[in-house]
A = this chain, B = another copy of it.
Amino acid sequence: MTNEANTRQKILSAAGPIFAKRGYQKATVRDISVAAGVNLASINYYFGDKSKLYLELLRQARDHQGGGLDFPPVDGSIDAEELLERFVTVLLRKLGLGEEPNWQMKLLVNEFLAPSEAGRQIVEEYFAPYFESLLTIIDRIAGRTLSRAERLRRGFSVIGQCLHYRLASPIISMLAWQEESEGAFDVEPLARHIAAFSVAGIRGSLESATNVRQ
């Protein structure tokens, strides 16, 4: 009993970073067992199989994804534009701009981009509330009632800009090779740009939005 929780926990601790770094397919149970300092067969003994271990880690990541980088509450006391910039800042940080993201966030982002059948629901449970709070910020910036489709498109425009810096980072560093761009893609200036761009975009696309058939 004293050891059950022990090796089980050792497996979980070792597997998280490995799954996050290599992805589900390329992460091998042998690597995990070695990193955990436990026998190979222990993984199947405690978790049944590789996929169940992965699912357990995904649930852990959803439930307490460490880091303390939680989005500020969306209340009425703060300027909406300021709120958006904070939202973008936190999201960029969570996505790993500036520093390495923790394995929990990596796992969730991986599932976000290529959901497995089992992981789909978990990711939805994690991201949906954040996305909805972004939509309320957008409502306040727009200043008028938007249709569901209008809100979604503006929300995706914000999220898309942020995700791009995490997804296309190899290409970005290829194109942004100049020394003059020094620091231009650090979190703070980047968040300022995305927030300013988006505030103008949200407001500016309002008049034309009424003409868009949907």
Give the interface of A toward B (CB within 8 A): 25-26, 112-115, 120, 123-124, 127-128, 131, 147-149, 152-154, 156-157, 159-165, 167-168, 170-172, 174-176, 178, 180-185, 189-190, 192-194, 196-205, 208-209, 212-214
Contact residue among B148, B165, B167, B171 (Cβ-Cβ distance under 8 Å from A181): B148
On whether the beta carbons of B189 and A214 are closer than 8 Å, the reply is yes
Chain B residues near A163 (CB-CB < 8 A):
160, 163-164, 167-168
Give the distance in Å from the alpha carbon of A212 to the alpha carbon of B196 in the complex. Answer: 11
The closest CB in chain B to the CB of A158 belongs to B161
Seed contacts A163-B164, A193-B209; 12 additional CB < 8 Å A-B pairs = A115-B171, A156-B165, A156-B172, A160-B161, A160-B162, A160-B163, A160-B164, A160-B168, A181-B214, A193-B205, A198-B201, A201-B204
